[in-house]
A and B are shown apart, each in its own frame.
Chain A
């Protein structure tokens, strides 16, 4: 168990809908990362937050947004969903020290039908 908790584990929704994925980082970790894993794109970095502030942005679509709350949990919002958004979405967290390890949650499986 990495200590990173993601909900829901599985989600099936229709095209055009909006979903929210939730992540609780490891206790004490200030950084939260979101990654998308799909067969054709591999592991794609979406976005990183550090202590509530956006730190880095990757290949995140404009239809997607994220935030990190004061209690350090994070949410990834996916809207106007398309079939191609079907993927495994990972949340990860790390502490602030140099050389720290990034620990991943079990992921949220999103299927868009």
Chain B
């Protein structure tokens, strides 16, 4: 079975500091990994994805994520946080092959708060 764990319900950082939102996954076979962000009363916005290739993936709004196959992790990072980054972040995984191709499995989400 496929699953995603986001071990922290909340992450709080000061503006200008680096931020990390953690994600670990479990999937049979190779994974496709995604990060989405949800602002209050809004839909899910795609941030970045890992399909293959370089383990460090760069995405929207200065975010990046590092794929670590041995640790089955895909942590989201940003060198310098902004107050406007405050939102709910979701990690998701999809099997690269199989009958459930296309479906995303989501973590529970991590609420990021960046204070001024």
Contact = CB atoms under 8 A, between A and B. Distances in A.
A43 interface: yes
A30 B53 CA distance: 26
A97 B49 CA distance: 15
Interface stretch (B10-18, B19-27, B63-71, B98-106): B98-106
A48 interface: yes
Given A45-B103, A50-B102, A102-B104, A2 B45 contact: yes
A56 B100 contact: yes
B102 A56 contact: yes
Interface of B: 32, 34, 36, 42-46, 49, 51-52, 90, 96, 99-100, 102-109
Given A33-B102, A33-B103, A106 B43 contact: yes
Given A42-B108, A99-B32, A101-B34, A106 B42 contact: yes
B106 A48 contact: no
Interface of A: 2, 4, 31, 33, 42-43, 45, 48, 50, 55-56, 58, 90, 92, 94, 98-99, 101-107
Contacts of A92: 44
A45 B102 contact: no
27 contacts: A2-B45, A31-B102, A33-B102, A33-B103, A33-B104, A42-B107, A42-B108, A42-B109, A45-B105, A48-B102, A56-B99, A90-B43, A92-B44, A94-B102, A99-B51, A99-B96, A101-B34, A101-B49, A102-B102, A104-B36, A104-B43, A104-B44, A104-B45, A104-B46, A105-B43, A106-B43, A107-B43
Nearest to B6: A42
